[in-house]
Structure 1
Protein backbone atom coordinates (compact mmCIF):
# COMPACT_ATOMS: atom_id res chain seq x y z
CA UNK A 1 0.00 0.00 0.00
CA UNK A 2 2.68 2.53 0.97
CA UNK A 3 4.86 1.37 -1.92
CA UNK A 4 2.04 2.04 -4.37
CA UNK A 5 1.53 5.54 -2.96
CA UNK A 6 5.25 6.32 -3.23
CA UNK A 7 5.41 4.97 -6.79
CA UNK A 8 2.29 6.92 -7.78
CA UNK A 9 3.72 10.11 -6.30
CA UNK A 10 7.03 9.63 -8.13
CA UNK A 11 5.25 8.96 -11.43
CA UNK A 12 3.11 12.09 -11.08
CA UNK A 13 6.14 14.20 -10.15
CA UNK A 14 8.08 12.70 -13.07
CA UNK A 15 5.21 13.46 -15.43
CA UNK A 16 4.99 17.06 -14.25
CA UNK A 17 8.74 17.60 -14.62
CA UNK A 18 8.69 15.94 -18.05
CA UNK A 19 5.82 18.14 -19.18
CA UNK A 20 7.51 21.32 -17.93
CA UNK A 21 10.76 20.32 -19.65
CA UNK A 22 9.10 19.59 -22.97
CA UNK A 23 6.96 22.75 -22.76
CA UNK A 24 10.08 24.82 -22.06
CA UNK A 25 11.91 23.20 -24.96
CA UNK A 26 9.13 24.31 -27.32
CA UNK A 27 8.28 27.74 -25.87
CA UNK A 28 11.55 29.33 -24.74
CA UNK A 29 12.85 31.97 -27.15
CA UNK A 30 16.44 31.09 -28.05
CA UNK A 31 18.82 28.16 -28.07
CA UNK A 32 20.66 28.93 -24.85
CA UNK A 33 17.50 29.30 -22.75
CA UNK A 34 15.91 26.28 -24.45
CA UNK A 35 18.89 24.23 -23.31
CA UNK A 36 17.87 24.53 -19.64
CA UNK A 37 14.49 22.84 -20.06
CA UNK A 38 15.66 19.32 -20.99
CA UNK A 39 18.83 19.37 -18.91
CA UNK A 40 17.12 20.42 -15.71
CA UNK A 41 13.46 19.53 -15.47
CA UNK A 42 13.24 16.68 -17.97
CA UNK A 43 16.22 15.02 -16.29
CA UNK A 44 14.44 15.23 -12.94
CA UNK A 45 11.29 13.85 -14.55
CA UNK A 46 13.03 10.81 -16.01
CA UNK A 47 14.89 10.34 -12.73
CA UNK A 48 11.64 10.34 -10.75
CA UNK A 49 10.10 7.75 -13.08
CA UNK A 50 13.21 5.54 -12.79
CA UNK A 51 13.24 5.82 -9.00
CA UNK A 52 9.52 4.95 -9.01
CA UNK A 53 10.40 1.83 -10.99
CA UNK A 54 13.20 1.10 -8.54
CA UNK A 55 10.69 1.23 -5.66
CA UNK A 56 7.99 -0.76 -7.53
CA UNK A 57 9.83 -4.04 -8.04
CA UNK A 58 10.88 -4.74 -4.43
CA UNK A 59 7.49 -3.73 -3.02
CA UNK A 60 5.36 -5.64 -5.54
CA UNK A 61 7.49 -8.52 -6.78
CA UNK A 62 9.99 -8.99 -3.98
CA UNK A 63 13.06 -8.71 -6.20
CA UNK A 64 15.59 -5.90 -6.35
CA UNK A 65 16.69 -4.66 -9.77
CA UNK A 66 19.71 -2.41 -10.06
CA UNK A 67 19.23 -1.42 -13.68
CA UNK A 68 17.08 1.58 -12.84
CA UNK A 69 19.55 2.83 -10.25
CA UNK A 70 22.43 2.58 -12.70
CA UNK A 71 20.43 4.33 -15.43
CA UNK A 72 19.47 7.11 -13.00
CA UNK A 73 23.07 7.64 -11.88
CA UNK A 74 24.28 7.67 -15.48
CA UNK A 75 21.56 10.16 -16.42
CA UNK A 76 22.36 12.50 -13.54
CA UNK A 77 26.08 12.37 -14.34
CA UNK A 78 25.84 12.86 -18.10
CA UNK A 79 23.02 15.42 -18.48
CA UNK A 80 24.97 18.39 -17.00
CA UNK A 81 28.07 17.53 -19.04
CA UNK A 82 26.00 17.27 -22.22
CA UNK A 83 24.32 20.61 -21.51
CA UNK A 84 27.70 22.26 -20.95
CA UNK A 85 29.14 20.88 -24.19
CA UNK A 86 26.08 21.96 -26.20
CA UNK A 87 26.23 25.45 -24.63
CA UNK A 88 29.93 25.84 -25.47
CA UNK A 89 29.34 24.64 -29.03
CA UNK A 90 26.52 27.17 -29.41
CA UNK A 91 28.75 29.94 -28.08
CA UNK A 92 31.45 29.10 -30.62
CA UNK A 93 28.99 28.89 -33.52
CA UNK A 94 27.49 32.29 -32.68
CA UNK A 95 30.82 34.01 -31.93
CA UNK A 96 31.02 37.67 -32.94
CA UNK A 97 34.63 38.69 -33.40
CA UNK A 98 33.80 42.40 -33.00
CA UNK A 99 32.38 41.85 -29.49
CA UNK A 100 34.97 39.52 -27.97
CA UNK A 101 38.17 38.45 -29.72
CA UNK A 102 38.49 34.70 -29.98
CA UNK A 103 41.21 33.46 -27.57
CA UNK A 104 43.99 31.37 -28.97
CA UNK A 105 44.49 27.89 -27.49
CA UNK A 106 47.87 28.91 -26.04
CA UNK A 107 46.60 31.76 -23.86
CA UNK A 108 43.25 30.64 -22.48
CA UNK A 109 41.54 27.32 -21.81
CA UNK A 110 38.03 28.72 -21.31
CA UNK A 111 35.54 29.75 -23.97
CA UNK A 112 35.42 33.43 -23.04
CA UNK A 113 38.89 33.73 -21.54
CA UNK A 114 40.87 36.93 -21.69
CA UNK A 115 43.41 36.58 -24.54
CA UNK A 116 45.55 39.40 -23.08
CA UNK A 117 46.54 37.41 -19.98
CA UNK A 118 49.06 34.63 -20.03
CA UNK A 119 48.26 31.25 -18.49
CA UNK A 120 48.93 30.79 -14.79
CA UNK A 121 51.00 27.62 -15.14
CA UNK A 122 53.75 28.18 -17.65
CA UNK A 123 55.51 24.98 -18.52
Structure 2
Protein backbone atom coordinates (compact mmCIF):
# COMPACT_ATOMS: atom_id res chain seq x y z
CA UNK A 1 0.00 0.00 0.00
CA UNK A 2 2.80 2.45 0.81
CA UNK A 3 4.54 1.76 -2.50
CA UNK A 4 1.52 2.99 -4.43
CA UNK A 5 1.35 6.22 -2.41
CA UNK A 6 5.02 6.91 -2.99
CA UNK A 7 4.65 6.22 -6.70
CA UNK A 8 1.62 8.51 -6.85
CA UNK A 9 3.51 11.34 -5.13
CA UNK A 10 6.52 10.86 -7.39
CA UNK A 11 4.25 10.85 -10.47
CA UNK A 12 2.73 14.14 -9.33
CA UNK A 13 6.15 15.67 -8.64
CA UNK A 14 7.50 14.48 -12.01
CA UNK A 15 4.43 15.84 -13.79
CA UNK A 16 4.76 19.20 -12.03
CA UNK A 17 8.45 19.43 -12.89
CA UNK A 18 7.70 18.66 -16.54
CA UNK A 19 4.92 21.25 -16.65
CA UNK A 20 7.08 23.88 -14.96
CA UNK A 21 9.95 23.16 -17.35
CA UNK A 22 7.68 23.35 -20.38
CA UNK A 23 6.06 26.59 -19.18
CA UNK A 24 9.39 28.28 -18.42
CA UNK A 25 10.81 27.21 -21.78
CA UNK A 26 7.69 28.41 -23.62
CA UNK A 27 7.62 31.77 -21.85
CA UNK A 28 11.35 32.26 -22.43
CA UNK A 29 10.97 31.52 -26.14
CA UNK A 30 8.21 34.12 -26.30
CA UNK A 31 10.55 36.50 -24.49
CA UNK A 32 13.27 35.89 -27.06
CA UNK A 33 10.85 36.97 -29.78
CA UNK A 34 9.31 39.92 -27.94
CA UNK A 35 12.23 41.55 -26.09
CA UNK A 36 13.82 44.55 -27.81
CA UNK A 37 17.58 44.01 -27.58
CA UNK A 38 20.23 41.32 -27.32
CA UNK A 39 20.71 41.74 -23.58
CA UNK A 40 17.11 41.09 -22.60
CA UNK A 41 16.91 38.26 -25.14
CA UNK A 42 20.00 36.69 -23.61
CA UNK A 43 18.35 36.93 -20.21
CA UNK A 44 15.29 35.09 -21.50
CA UNK A 45 17.37 32.41 -23.22
CA UNK A 46 19.47 31.83 -20.12
CA UNK A 47 16.41 31.45 -17.90
CA UNK A 48 15.00 28.88 -20.30
CA UNK A 49 18.07 26.73 -20.28
CA UNK A 50 18.79 26.98 -16.59
CA UNK A 51 15.33 26.67 -15.12
CA UNK A 52 13.32 24.95 -17.84
CA UNK A 53 15.74 22.33 -19.04
CA UNK A 54 17.07 21.64 -15.55
CA UNK A 55 13.58 20.91 -14.22
CA UNK A 56 12.85 18.61 -17.17
CA UNK A 57 16.11 16.73 -16.61
CA UNK A 58 15.35 16.55 -12.88
CA UNK A 59 11.94 15.06 -13.69
CA UNK A 60 13.64 12.42 -15.84
CA UNK A 61 16.09 11.68 -13.03
CA UNK A 62 13.31 11.22 -10.47
CA UNK A 63 11.31 9.04 -12.84
CA UNK A 64 14.25 6.77 -13.51
CA UNK A 65 15.13 6.65 -9.83
CA UNK A 66 11.69 5.59 -8.64
CA UNK A 67 10.32 3.55 -11.56
CA UNK A 68 13.46 1.80 -12.81
CA UNK A 69 15.76 2.00 -9.74
CA UNK A 70 18.42 3.70 -11.86
CA UNK A 71 20.59 6.45 -10.41
CA UNK A 72 21.70 8.35 -13.48
CA UNK A 73 24.81 10.33 -12.76
CA UNK A 74 24.78 11.59 -16.33
CA UNK A 75 21.52 13.43 -15.73
CA UNK A 76 22.86 15.00 -12.55
CA UNK A 77 26.04 16.04 -14.35
CA UNK A 78 23.91 17.45 -17.15
CA UNK A 79 22.00 19.62 -14.67
CA UNK A 80 25.25 20.76 -13.05
CA UNK A 81 26.79 21.53 -16.44
CA UNK A 82 23.79 23.61 -17.51
CA UNK A 83 23.66 25.48 -14.20
CA UNK A 84 27.33 26.42 -14.51
CA UNK A 85 27.78 27.09 -18.22
CA UNK A 86 24.55 28.83 -19.27
CA UNK A 87 24.87 31.95 -17.09
CA UNK A 88 28.59 32.27 -17.75
CA UNK A 89 28.22 31.97 -21.53
CA UNK A 90 25.30 34.40 -21.53
CA UNK A 91 27.35 36.91 -19.57
CA UNK A 92 30.30 36.59 -21.94
CA UNK A 93 28.10 36.97 -25.04
CA UNK A 94 26.44 40.05 -23.54
CA UNK A 95 29.77 41.55 -22.59
CA UNK A 96 31.19 40.91 -26.07
CA UNK A 97 28.11 42.51 -27.64
CA UNK A 98 28.45 45.57 -25.44
CA UNK A 99 32.16 45.97 -26.11
CA UNK A 100 31.60 45.59 -29.86
CA UNK A 101 29.24 48.56 -29.78
CA UNK A 102 25.77 47.12 -29.32
CA UNK A 103 23.99 49.36 -26.83
CA UNK A 104 21.06 48.27 -24.68
CA UNK A 105 17.65 49.85 -24.99
CA UNK A 106 17.79 52.22 -22.03
CA UNK A 107 14.29 53.38 -21.22
CA UNK A 108 14.48 54.84 -17.72
CA UNK A 109 17.63 52.82 -17.02
CA UNK A 110 21.31 53.55 -16.89
CA UNK A 111 24.04 51.62 -18.62
CA UNK A 112 26.00 50.42 -15.59
CA UNK A 113 28.59 48.58 -17.67
CA UNK A 114 29.36 51.72 -19.67
CA UNK A 115 29.77 53.68 -16.43
CA UNK A 116 32.13 51.01 -15.06
CA UNK A 117 34.23 51.17 -18.22
CA UNK A 118 34.46 54.96 -17.98
CA UNK A 119 35.53 54.78 -14.33
CA UNK A 120 38.13 52.16 -15.14
CA UNK A 121 39.60 54.20 -18.02
CA UNK A 122 39.90 57.39 -15.98
Is the contact made by 1:17 and 1:42 (CA closer than 8 Å) also made in structure 2? Answer: no
SS of the residue aligned with 2:121? coil
1:22 and 1:42 in contact (8 A); partners too: no
Q: How many residues align?
A: 103
Q: Distance in 2 between matches of 1:5 and 1:17?
A: 18
Q: What is the CA-CA distance between 1:33 and the residue it aligns to?
A: 1.2
Specify every segment of 5 or more residues in structure 1 that has no aligned partner in the other structure, as ranges.
97-109, 117-123
Per-residue displacement from partner, 1:58-112 (whole Å, max 9, x unpaired)? 111112111111000000000111011001111011168xxxxxxxxxxxxx755
Using CA pairs under 8 Å that are at least 6 residues apart, name the structure with larger relative contact order, 1 or 2: 2
Aligned twin of 2:81? 74
Matches within 5 A, 1:3-14: 3-14=10-21
In structure 2, the residue matched to 1:28 is 35
The equivalent of 2:120 in structure 1 is: 114
Structure with higher helix content: 2
State how far apart, in whole Å, the 2-side matches of 1:79 and 1:9 are.
23
1:40-79 correspondence runs (5 A): 40-79=47-86
8 Å Cα contact 2:32/2:44 also seen in 1? yes
1:86 paired to 2:93? yes
